[in-house]
């Protein structure tokens, strides 16, 4: 990793989208082997505010903006790519990503979710699950990230939902 220590982290947002039952939206990556699941996430464009990027990424990846802002994780969460992906993934320009996570409440119906509105589609399947159930899925190298984040995101959702 020291070889890539001079590479920056790519600014990124993550979206923890909860429905009215407190279930978390997860989707399976279409572009990765092994059935990798995750929450919607993506890069922040130059000059874009992180919250705006969260709604844009959600619309690009799952076809809807039909959600309301509930909370955000105060700290950014940085992670390194596995060594074999550095220089290949993320355009080869980054060692990993630093993410700002947003908790959103879904206000639509399942019919609003469309995985094929952006080409190529990032996801090929999706589900609403109890948040801890995500940790039972294949998460690839992002497993440690989600093991830390899921309890925090749930706590933020619960606090925002009780207001």
User: By the 8 A CB rule, do 96 and 115 touch?
Assistant: no
Residue 44 is encoded by which pair of tokens? Answer: 């922040």
Residue whose tokens read 């080869």: 92
Rounded CA gap, 1 and 19, in Å? Answer: 39
Q: What's the pLDDT score for residue 119?
A: 84
Query: With the CA atoms of 23, 25, 28 and 30 taken in that order, what torsion angle do they form, in degrees rounded to the nearest 10?
Result: 170
Beta strands in the chain (DSSP E): 9-18, 24-29, 37-38, 41-43, 67-72, 77-80, 96-106, 123-129
Give the pLDDT confidence of 57-106 residue by residue, as tens digits: 999 999 999 999 999 999 999 998 888 777 666 667 888 899 999 999 99
What pTM value is reported for the model?
0.93
pLDDT at 123 over 80: yes
Q: What's the pLDDT score for residue 1?
A: 46
* Average pLDDT of span 100-125: 94
Residue 40 is encoded by which pair of tokens? Answer: 């919607």
Q: What's the pLDDT score for residue 33?
A: 79
Beta strands in 23-89 (DSSP E): 24-29, 37-38, 41-43, 67-72, 77-80
């Amino acid at each position: 990793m020291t070889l890539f220590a001079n590479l920056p982290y790519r600014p990124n947002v993550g979206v923890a989208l909860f429905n009215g039952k407190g279930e978390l939206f997860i989707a399976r990556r279409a572009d990765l082997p092994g059935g990798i699941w995750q929450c919607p996430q993506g890069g922040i464009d130059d000059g874009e505010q992180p919250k705006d990027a969260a709604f844009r990424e959600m619309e690009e990846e799952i076809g809807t903006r039909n959600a309301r802002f509930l909370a955000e994780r105060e700290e950014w969460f940085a992670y390194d790519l596995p060594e074999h992906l550095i220089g290949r993934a993320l355009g080869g320009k980054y060692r990993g990503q630093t993410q700002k996570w947003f908790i959103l409440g879904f206000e639509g119906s399942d019919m609003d979710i469309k995985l094929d509105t952006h080409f190529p589609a990032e996801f090929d399947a999706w589900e609403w699950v109890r948040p801890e159930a995500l940790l039972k899925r294949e998460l690839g190298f992002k497993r440690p990230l989600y093991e830390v984040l899921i309890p925090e995101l749930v706590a933020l959702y619960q606090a925002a939902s009780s207001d």
